[in-house]
């Protein structure tokens, strides 16, 4: 590792600052990893939803990747929104040379329900990108899409986790139960054992960007050399605090609070 742990995100943008690249970079910074970004799509969105999407031309995505990969150290990296098959092909080809922990947030729809990737690209993601991952972090509906079955409880989350690793080839999986009723439980399966991470549900509608923030925190901690279990445990603490102290900004689902750990220190 260089003097500072270096983390890269490859994803789409959120000008309102709660999700996508913006959430990733804020999280890397807050957790003291040096943050870098490659932008795949420019998304006009805010707390109420997505207005328009402009895909960055493929040659410019390639140039961004080459700029970072040819010059900068990377200790861990994540992908978020990758809208179509051409982008996925390019990214799959480029990231094989990195040989560092790869965390995939298999972003399909925004918190608002707007689609962020093309329907036919979902199969490509499952077949070609998933096997390259160190960890994939689907929410319930993304996990259900990956295994083509419904998931409605913790037992089914565990069964899905086994399929995603053993059958589909992910390195490990963290299925997020944020959209279940009751406690917010996530299930980690690494091919050998299960771990559950449970917190009391926080009554808030401000959950814009929770998934991005969580996977970025895992990436930051992995870039610093932590084990997968340690990274997820600490990232769960971070995202929970980020939801607890989330901001009631905008008129829809407000953003998480990336200063969360500082807020906790203040409260102590
Ligand atoms: N109300 C809540 N209280 C506590 N934890 C929550 C709450 N909602 C979500 N979480 C937790 O937040 C993390 C992100 O999970 P979630 O299922 O919301 O991801 P996501 O759907 O991918 O997010 P996004 O809204 O960004 O698409 C998980 O650890 C989940 O358990
Ligand atoms: C760019 C982007 N990626 C991911 C999400 C999911 O929250 C979002 N809303 N926007």
pLDDT digits (tens, 9 = 90+) for 40-84: 999 999 999 999 999 999 999 999 999 999 999 999 999 999 999
Per annotation, catalytic residue among 212, 234, 236, 244? 212
Length of the chain: 268
Report if residue 115 sits inside a domain. Answer: yes
Query: What spacing in Å lies between the alpha carbon of 110 and ligand 2's midpoint?
Result: 5
How would residue 184 be classed by pLDDT, with cut points 50, 70 and 90?
very high
What pTM was computed for the model? 0.97
Q: Is 47 in the pocket of ligand 1 (CB under 6 A)?
A: no
Supply the range of the domain harboring residue 30: 6-267
Q: Is the pLDDT at 126 greater than 80, yes or no?
A: yes
Report if residue 93 sits inside a domain. Answer: yes
The closest ligand to the CA of 117 turns out to be 2
Report if residue 153 sits inside a domain. Answer: yes
Whether 113 is a known active-site residue: answer no
Query: What spacing in Å lies between the alpha carbon of 3 and ligand 2's midpoint?
Result: 31
Report if residue 65 sits inside a domain. Answer: yes
Distance CA 138, CA 115 (A): 15
Q: Is the pLDDT at 136 greater than 90, yes or no?
A: yes
Tally of structural domains, the chain: 1
Residue nearest to atom 25 of ligand 1 (CA): 111
Per residue in 188-198, pLDDT (tens digit) is 999 999 999 99
Residue nearest to atom 10 of ligand 2 (CA): 20
Cβ count near 246 (within 10 Å)? 23
User: Which one of 9, 11, 138 would you pick to mutate in the ligand 2 pocket, going by the greatest count of ligand atoms within 8 A of its CB?
Assistant: 11
Q: Which of 170, 157, 185 is nearest to 128 (CA)?
A: 170
Which residues does 42 contact at the CB level (< 8 Å), separation at least 6? 12, 13, 53, 54, 56
Q: Is the pLDDT at 1 greater than 70, yes or no?
A: no
The closest ligand to the CA of 110 turns out to be 2
User: Which one of 10, 23, 110, 211 would you pick to mutate in the ligand 2 pocket, going by the greatest count of ligand atoms within 8 A of its CB?
Assistant: 110
Report if residue 1 sits inside a domain. Answer: no
Report if residue 40 sits inside a domain. Answer: yes
Residue nearest to atom 3 of ligand 2 (CA): 20
Assigned token pair, 31: 């957790």
Whether 111 is a known active-site residue: answer no
Report if residue 129 sits inside a domain. Answer: yes
Q: Is 176 in the pocket of ligand 1 (CB under 6 A)?
A: yes
Residue nearest to atom 5 of ligand 2 (CA): 110
Query: What spacing in Å lies between the alpha carbon of 61 and ligand 2's midpoint?
Result: 18
Q: Is the pLDDT at 268 greater than 90, yes or no?
A: no
Whether 205 is a known active-site residue: answer no
Report if residue 152 sits inside a domain. Answer: yes
**Closest approach atom of ligand 2 to CA 50:** 9
The CATH number that applies at residue 35 is 3.40.1190.20
């Amino acid at each position: 590792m260089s003097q500072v742990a270096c983390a890269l995100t490859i994803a789409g943008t959120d000008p309102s600052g709660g999700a996508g690249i913006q959430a990733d970079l804020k999280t890397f910074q807050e957790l003291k990893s040096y943050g870098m970004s490659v932008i795949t799509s420019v998304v006009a969105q805010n707390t109420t939803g997505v207005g328009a999407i402009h895909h960055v031309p493929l040659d410019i995505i390639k140039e961004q990747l080459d700029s970072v990969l040819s010059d900068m150290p990377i200790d861990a990296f994540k992908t978020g929104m990758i809208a179509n098959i051409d982008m996925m092909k390019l990214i799959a080809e480029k990231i094989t040379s990195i040989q560092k922990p790869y965390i995939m947030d298999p972003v399909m729809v925004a918190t608002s329900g707007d689609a962020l990737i093309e329907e036919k690209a979902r199969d490509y993601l499952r077949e070609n990108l998933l096997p390259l991952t160190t960890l994939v972090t689907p929410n319930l509906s993304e996990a259900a899409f990956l295994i083509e079955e419904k998931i409605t409880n913790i037992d089914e989350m565990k069964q899905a986790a086994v399929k995603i690793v053993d059958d589909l080839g992910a390195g490990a999986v963290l299925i997020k139960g944020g959209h279940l009723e009751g406690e917010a439980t996530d299930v980690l399966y690494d091919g050998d054992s299960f771990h559950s991470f449970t917190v009391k549900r926080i009554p808030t509608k401000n959950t814009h960007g929770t998934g991005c923030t969580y996977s970025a925190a895992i990436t930051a901690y992995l870039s610093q050399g932590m084990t997968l279990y340690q990274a997820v445990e600490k990232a769960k603490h971070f995202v929970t605090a980020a939801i607890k102290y989330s901001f009631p900004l905008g008129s829809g689902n407000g953003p998480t609070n990336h200063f969360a750990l500082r807020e906790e220190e203040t409260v102590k």
